[in-house]
Structure 1
Amino acid sequence: MFDLRFARYPKRWTTAVVAAAIYANFFTNHYLFDARWLLVTVVALVFGRCVMHFRIFRFRWRMPLLLAFLLVAFFIWLAENIATWSNAWLYPSQLDGWHPVSPEKLASWFLLMIISVVMVTWISPPQPPDGHLAE
């Protein structure tokens, strides 16, 4: 629908290694070191040069892929705050009164976005923008 294209998308094997590390951290952070912020840094290094090109109606736009990940994560985090505020569900710390969901959850949603995108790119490999050679 948006005709997504990617300039300077990283090697897929590199993204798979990063996604596997993120996935492992979601489980091991309860027993070992929580590497969430280290993984965010690694994601910034791996995806930092990538630019997403997309189409809305007849207009072509471009955006740094990291910004796209951050925006999606932010809106999920915002929806999570709205849902807890409206008592759709509550976290244990909110049982005695509502408060915003921790900004650390924003990093978790950001990292989850990476896993999701990497899985999709194994089914549908990222294509370069029209007129660009694959980089």
Structure 2
Amino acid sequence: MAKKLIFTLLFFYLHHSFVFAQKEQCDRVYTTVEHSAFYGKKHDDMIRFIEQNFSIDTTCLDNGTPQFNSLRVKFLIDKKGNLKEIEIMEPVLSNECIASIKAIFLKMKTWTPAFQKGKPVCSYCIQNISCFKWE
């Protein structure tokens, strides 16, 4: 019971902190830009991060069976390269599983923001991820 409560509180904390932070730093959020935001120093660093770190724990199992084998995640990268507003678009998952996935995404600290007309801007990114390792 305590474990569920901790994950639920973590989920609500992360969700609300991202929503409020975005309103302060991003006056406009772009969906298309001249140069997209990317993780790390090269465009394939995110693929390497996912391969090395995306191991979902037992919170994403339903009676021993994975709740999913792929997912679609939408998130915001602000003008400073900070990861904000992580949203699991597909599939519908438990709050504990969502908190676990968000915790993995929050480990990605070194984002290069998107650029529009030579200036850094806030932009949404959508990432499809599949083929997980299960713990």
TM-score, normalised via structure 1 length: 0.32
Give the structure with the larger strand fraction.
2
TM-score, normalised via structure 2 length: 0.32
Tell which structure's C-alpha radius of gyration is larger: 1
